[in-house]
Amino acid sequence: MIHLVATAVKHGKGGISTALVSFCESPQLQQHGLNVIESHRGTSGKLAAYRAAAARLRNEVQAGDIVWLHCARWLSMLRKYLLARVAKRRGAVVVLQFHSAATADYLTSAWRRWLLRRMLAVADGICVLTPWWRDLLIDRLGVAPERVHVVPNTLDAQFLAAAPAARLGADEPVRLLCMTRLVPGKNVHSVIGALLQLPEHYQLSIAGEGADLTLLQGLVTRFGLQSRVTFLGWVDYADKIAVLQQHHLFVLPSAFDAFGMGFIEAMAVGLPVVALAHGPTPDVVPHQQAGYLVERGDSHDLADAIRYCTEHHAQLSTQARAYAQQQFAVEPVVADLQRFFAACAARASAGSN
């Protein structure tokens, strides 16, 4: 039995809640036996949800089961560490997966680095989202390579089957989409600045909520871009495909993403991606194959990248869609994951004998 411990799937506003949909729907995992345990749902009742998750682990986990815990930022890490200890006492094989971009920053904090080391000590295996993260844990924390496995976020059946967005016509507006949490580090303000350097027929939709919303709305007003920028608010999971299909390019120069679920969702629908060549992003978006990666997130470079993707839209759109379907389909990832689980179980068994 595999017990997946994470935030409520499809209900949150973070990447984990959508990234795990395809795993929860995987026939391979369901055939093996998949038990989903919610560690919390949104921002309400986290202590009660933690207690309920701990009780379920105590009651439902058997010796030799796999407990696969998904960690966001540090409070989430702390909860998963405590839940991992509960699972370990039940004789489970514990596998932790890190999802937060802040994990890299924690390596510079003494007490958070201590927490990471404690988590690594209790885990039989570690999953990360891209090779960049795997190298980081091996190089900075000395984790044995065989204990770290890359498990990228994957696309669910709806995205894999989604019709591609309409091709860009010669005389129609170029519709740009920036869909993310509107918080520092996402660099949405630079996308607005890039629009100033592009012709009038370029239009921008900003989808999301967050602390920077008022600031971004103020920039649009100050630059006189009200007729070219639309704020869509938060887009629910069920509406994502339809929103993506209404646009031509996906632009998100984020310096704060552990993976970027929005990137692969956009590529799956045939939207070339403009992003920042930062951290793990080059592992997800191949430069000049599925879009364009800029070295700096300033407005000038973004405008140049948007022009490039507009000029090569048909080719990039086809390549982006093919790449997403090949690299981020769930079943090959699950097959590799099950082999990793088996190796973790074998090491745990050998260590207990």
Q: Are residues 227 and 171 in the same domain?
A: yes
Q: Are residues 227 and 337 in the same domain?
A: no
CATH number of the domain bearing residue 275:
3.40.50.2000
pLDDT computed for residue 76 by the predictor: 85
57 within 8 A of 87, measured Cβ to Cβ: yes
Q: Are residues 150 and 18 in the same domain?
A: yes
Over range 96-116, report the average pLDDT. 86
Strands 34-40 and 148-150 come out as unpaired
Q: Residue with structure tokens 């973790």?
A: 344
Q: Are residues 176 and 77 in the same domain?
A: no
| One-letter amino acid for residue 315 of the chain | Q
Q: Are residues 311 and 198 in the same domain?
A: yes
Residue 72: band (very low, low, confident or very high) from pLDDT cuts 50, 70, 90: confident
Q: Are residues 147 and 255 in the same domain?
A: no
The total number of structural domains in the chain stands at 2
Over range 10-21, report the average pLDDT. 73
Q: Are residues 219 and 270 in the same domain?
A: yes
The runs of H, that is alpha helices, within the chain are 15-19, 21-24, 27-32, 46-60, 74-89, 102-106, 110-122, 131-141, 157-161, 188-196, 213-222, 240-245, 261-268, 281-284, 299-311, 313-327, 330-352
156 within 8 A of 22, measured Cβ to Cβ: yes
Q: If residue 34 lies in a helix (H) or strand (E), which one and from where to where?
A: strand 34-40
Predicted structure pTM score: 0.90
Q: Are residues 192 and 293 in the same domain?
A: yes
Q: Are residues 145 and 279 in the same domain?
A: no
Q: Are residues 99 and 206 in the same domain?
A: no
d(Cα 196, Cα 72) in Å, to the nearest integer? 35
Q: Are residues 12 and 128 in the same domain?
A: yes
Could you give the count of Cα atoms lying within 13 Å of 19 in the half-sphere of its Cβ?
A: 27
Residue 272: band (very low, low, confident or very high) from pLDDT cuts 50, 70, 90: very high
Q: Residue with structure tokens 């405590």?
A: 82
Arithmetic mean of pLDDT over the chain: 92
> Both tokens of residue 211?
């602390």
pLDDT computed for residue 114 by the predictor: 86
- Domain span including residue 122: 2-154+329-352
198 within 8 A of 306, measured Cβ to Cβ: yes
Q: Are residues 10 and 38 in the same domain?
A: yes
d(Cα 36, Cα 8) in Å, to the nearest integer? 9
pLDDT score of 353 more than 70: no
Dihedral angle over CA of 177, 197, 301, 288, nearest 10: 50
